[in-house]
Amino acid sequence: MLKRLFPWRFLLQLAAKRFEVVDPLSVAARIRGFAQPSEVQEPIELLRAGIVFHARGLINTKAIQHNLDWIWPYWVERQFNPKDLSFIPRAFSFSHINLTHRNWTAVGKPDLPIYPIVDPHGLVTPLHDGWSIDCWFMDDEGNTLCPSRLKNVQQRLQDDSNRRVITRCAADAVKMTSEAAMDEENPEPVLRVTAMAEGTIGGWLIFALRPYNPEGVQFIEKVELLAGRTGWLVNGTTRVLLAESPDKLLFSNYGEGDVYYRLTEVQETKEKTCRIGMVTAAALHRVEAGEGKREFSLTVRLPPAKNYPGLTRSVSWPEAEMEAAELQVPDSDIQFLYNTATRTLIHLSAGDVIPGPYTYNRFWFRDACIMLHVLLAIGLKDRCRRHLDTFAGRQTIEGYFHSQDGEWDSNGQVLWLFNRFRLLTGGDFNPDWLKPIVRGAEWIARKRVFNTDNKKVVGLLPSGFSAEHFGPNDNYYWDDFWAVAGLYGAADTMAARGLVKEEENIRKVAVAMEKDLFKSIALVAAEKNTLAIPTSPNRRLDSGAIGSIVADYPLQLLPPGDKRMLATAGFLMNNCLQKGCFFQDMIHSGINVYMTLELAQVYLRAGDARFRSLMAAAASFASPTGHWPEAIHPLTDGGCMGDGQHGWATAEWLMLIRNMFVMDEKDALIIGRGILPEWLQRKKKLAYGPTLTPFGRVSVEINCRHTRPAVHLTADWYERRPDKIIVRLPGYKPSVMNEPDYYAIVEEEE
C-alpha cells in the first residue's frame, strides 16, 4: 500500500527536470504507444535476462576494444575486424555483444542436463556461461597457430557411442586437431578435451585458459596450480586436470597482458590472481619435429546435475534413441541432419525441455510443447510423458500454465499437447492431468475479451507480449489459434475419459471462440481486401504473419490447401525470403530456419512442391555439426540472435522429414507426399519409422529398385484405424492401400 501511495512518478519527473535529462516516464509512454494496451508490458523474466545479457555486453565494451592484441573468441576476431564482412561499428552501441557468429555445439549425455559447448573454431566452454579452454600451437621459430584467428577451420560432429566435436586446423607446416566430449568417471561427469599436433618443425602444443566464452568476457579471478603440476584450480571451485604433466606452466593477469605474449618465458609461479578477473594461463607440452601425432588431454570436473524426477541412471546414446524413428534416404546430408537432430532433441530434454544449451538454457512452454510433440511423433513417448507429468507444477492457482508473464499462448499449447499424447499413444493417459486440463481451459474462457469497442478482437485473447517476436504487444492470432485448438483438444480428452459435463462446457467455449476468431479474420479480410491473415487484426501484412500459419501446421484447424493459408504463405514467400529462407524483420532481423520449415509444412500439406526449395535452403544453413542458430545473419551466415544451437529448429527438421513420409490427417494417413523425386530416381530403398500416429505405430518402406516404386506400410494399429491410407508419391498417381498387406505399386502420372 505504501509503495502505491509513494509519489514515484512525481519524484522521477522532478529529478529529470533538475538534472536536465529526458523524462523517462514520458519516453516510456511514447514507446508503449506503439503497442496495444496490455496488462503486462514486458515479462519480468525477459527483462531480467536482458539485463544480464547486456551487463556482459557493457563489460565487453571495456574489455575487448582496448585489448584487441589479445587472443579473443572467433566471433570477436571477426566482428571487431574492419576488414571482415562481420565487422560492426561500435560508436553508438550501448553494449558489445555477439551479433554475427552465435554458433556453438553442445556435447553431453542423453539424460544429464549438463551442456558444455564448443564454438566453430574449437573454443570449449565446460561450464554453463563459464570461462573457456582453447588449444594453440607455437613452433620453435615463434610462429603461432590460434584457431580463432584462422579463416579456414574444419569442424564435425562424431556421433557414435558418444557425442564428440572434432576441430581441425592448419597453418604453414603444422596441423592441429582438438576434440571435446563428455565422459563419466566414478560416475561423475567430466569434460575431456584432447589435442594433437604434428609438423615438420618442433614446438609446443598449448592448453590455454581463457576468461571468456562465445558471449564475451567471463571472469577468472584466481588460478592455482594443483599439487604435482597436474592441473589448475579455477576460481577456487573447478579442477582442470592435465593427463600428462606439462613441460611449462605459465600465468598472467590483466595488468601483465595476455599469457599469449609470455609463451617463451619460464615461470615458477604457482598461482595468479586478478582483481579485474582476467587471469589467463597456459600449459605447454613439447612436440618434437617429425615425432608424428602425439596426443595430450585434460579433463574438467563438472558439477553434478540436479537429478530429474524419475531418473535413476544416465543411459547411453544407443539406449536413449532405441525407440526413435529411423530414416533411410540416399542423401548423406539429409541423413546426417536427421540423425544429429534426433540426438540433439533427446539431449535438450535431459532435464527441463530447453530450446538451447546456452543462451536459451531455460524452460518455456512454447518451445517445450513443440519439441515434446516431435519427441512423441518420432516414438519417444516415455520421454515425453515424464515431462508432461511436470506441467501441473508450473500451473498457477488461476489455471495459467506459466513460464513468463504476459503471454497467452501457453495454455492452448499445453491442452493441445496433452490431447496429442492421448491420440498418438492409443489412449495412454495420466488421470492426474485431468484437473490441470480443466483449469487450463477455464482460464482461456475467462481470459477472452468482450468489453471492447474493437469488433475485430471480440471473443479473442487480450493484447499480450510476443516472445515469438511478431511485434509490440497486440492481440495475436497465434495465441487464439492455439487456444481454439487447445480447447478442442481438452474437450476431446474429456469425452474420451467419459467426463460428459466437462466436455460439454469446454466444447461450448471452443465453438464460440472459433466462431469469433474466424469472424475477426473475415472482418480483416474485407478491410484489407486480402485472404492472407496478418499476425493481428490490428496490423497490416508483414513478416509477423508467419504466426498465423499455425492454423495449418501443426494445428490443422483448416483443411489442406485452405485459400487463406496459401494466401498467407504466398505473401511470405513473395515478400519475406532471404537466400531462400524466411527472414524475420521483427527483433530477430535474421533468417529463421525453424519458421522456414513451418512454412514448408503448409506447402507440403497442400501437396505443393514449393516446400522442397524451402527445405533445401534450410538444410544449406546447417552448421558442419548439423545445427542451426535461432536466427542467421544474411551476410555472415552466422547466428545473429538467440541460442547458437536451436532446439526448436531441430524439432521442426525432424517433423518435416516425418511428414514427408507419413502425415496424419483427421481420418487418414498420407504416405510419401514429400518424397523428393531425386530419391526415387536413385533406385535405392527409402524407409522411415516407426512413427506414432493417432491410428497406430507406423513404418514405411519404399522400394525404388524396379521400374515402379513399391510402397509397403507396417503398422501396429490402435483400436481406431484410418478410414483411408493414400500413397501420394511425386510423379505418380495416388494409390489407396488396403488390408491386410498394405502394399502398393504406384503408376506414373500420364
Residue 603 belongs to a domain = no
Q: CATH number of the domain at 261, please.
A: 2.70.98.10
Contact 74, 120 (CB under 8 A): yes
Q: What is the spatial distance between Cα 318 and Cα 295, in angstroms, rounded to a whole number? A: 27
Mean of all residue pLDDT scores within the chain: 93
How many CB atoms are closer than 10 A to CB 216?
23
Residue 182 belongs to a domain = yes
Per-residue confidence at 687, pLDDT binned at 50, 70, 90?
very high
Return the pLDDT at 23.
Answer: 64
Pairing between β-strand 132-139 and β-strand 144-145 as defined by DSSP bridges: antiparallel
Contact 43, 406 (CB under 8 A): yes
Per-residue confidence at 471, pLDDT binned at 50, 70, 90?
confident
Contact 588, 641 (CB under 8 A): yes
Mean pLDDT of 611-631: 98
Residue 94 belongs to a domain = no
Residue 380 belongs to a domain = no
Per-residue confidence at 405, pLDDT binned at 50, 70, 90?
confident
Cis preceding linkage at 246, omega within 30: no
Residue 728 belongs to a domain = yes
CA triple 74-192-231, angle to 5 deg: 90
Q: What is the spatial distance between Cα 649 and Cα 498, in angstroms, rounded to a whole number? A: 37
Per-residue confidence at 311, pLDDT binned at 50, 70, 90?
very low
Residue 251 belongs to a domain = yes
Per-residue confidence at 630, pLDDT binned at 50, 70, 90?
very high
38-42, 703-707, 739-743, 744-748: least confidently modelled range: 38-42
pLDDT in tens, 372-385: 999 999 999 999 99
Helix axes 611-620, 647-661, angle to 10 degrees: 140
Per-residue confidence at 291, pLDDT binned at 50, 70, 90?
confident
Q: What is the spatial distance between Cα 675 and Cα 682, in angstroms, rounded to a whole number? A: 12
pLDDT in tens, 60-84: 999 999 999 999 999 999 999 999 9
Residue 317 belongs to a domain = no
Q: What is the spatial distance between Cα 200 and Cα 520, in angstroms, rounded to a whole number? A: 73
Q: What is the spatial distance between Cα 246 and Cα 205, in angstroms, rounded to a whole number? A: 10
Return the pLDDT at 2.
Answer: 46
- 207 is in which domain, residue-wise? 105-301
Cis preceding linkage at 690, omega within 30: yes
Return the pLDDT at 4.
Answer: 53
What are the angstrom distances between the C-alpha of 369 and each of 299, 356, 384, 412?
36, 14, 10, 10
Residues of 3-25 as b/e, b for ≥16 C-beta within 10 angstroms?
eeeeeeeeeeeeebeeeeeeeee
Last residue of a domain, one of 282, 301, 320: 301
Return the pLDDT at 186.
Answer: 78
Per-residue confidence at 408, pLDDT binned at 50, 70, 90?
very high
Last residue of a domain, one of 253, 270, 301: 301
Pairing between β-strand 577-578 and β-strand 174-185 as defined by DSSP bridges: unpaired
Q: Is the dihedral of CA 373, 377, 383, 389 positive or negative?
A: positive
Torsion of CA 210, 214, 219, 225, to 10 degrees: -30
Which backbone phi and psi does 97 adopt, to 5 degrees? -130, 165
Residue 570's Cβ-side half-sphere holds a number of Cα atoms within 13 Å equal to: 12
pLDDT in tens, 166-210: 999 998 888 999 999 999 887 789 999 999 998 888 999 999 999
Which backbone phi and psi does 208 adopt, to 5 degrees? -115, 130
Given a cut of 60, whether residue 27 has pLDDT beyond it is no
pLDDT in tens, 426-468: 999 999 999 999 999 999 999 999 999 999 999 999 998 776 7
**Percentage of the chain exceeding pLDDT 90:** 82
Q: Specify burial of residue 466 (Cβ count, 10 A radius: 0-12, 13-18, 19+).
A: buried
Return the pLDDT at 6.
Answer: 56
Which backbone phi and psi does 506 adopt, to 5 degrees? -70, -40
Return the pLDDT at 749.
Answer: 85
Given a cut of 50, whether residue 133 has pLDDT beyond it is yes
Return the pLDDT at 612.
Answer: 99
Q: Which spans in 378-476 are helix H?
A: 381-388, 410-424, 434-447
Mean pLDDT of 385-408: 94
Return the pLDDT at 250.
Answer: 98
30-39, 278-287, 549-558, 595-604: least confidently modelled range: 30-39
Q: Is the dihedral of CA 249, 255, 256, 258 positive or negative?
A: positive
Residue 115 belongs to a domain = yes
Q: What is the spatial distance between Cα 505 and Cα 521, in angstroms, rounded to a whole number? A: 25
Number of domains in the chain: 2
CA triple 97-218-362, angle to 5 deg: 75
Closest CA to 608 of 552, 674, 555: 674
pLDDT in tens, 324-348: 999 999 999 999 999 999 999 999 9
Return the pLDDT at 411.
Answer: 98
Per-residue confidence at 407, pLDDT binned at 50, 70, 90?
confident
Last residue of a domain, one of 261, 279, 301: 301
Residues of 66-98 as b/e, b for ≥16 C-beta within 10 angstroms?
eeeebbbbbbbbbbbeeeeebeeeeeeeeebbb
Q: What is the spatial distance between Cα 540 and Cα 509, in angstroms, rounded to a whole number? A: 28
Given a cut of 50, whether residue 310 has pLDDT beyond it is no
Mean pLDDT of 646-650: 98
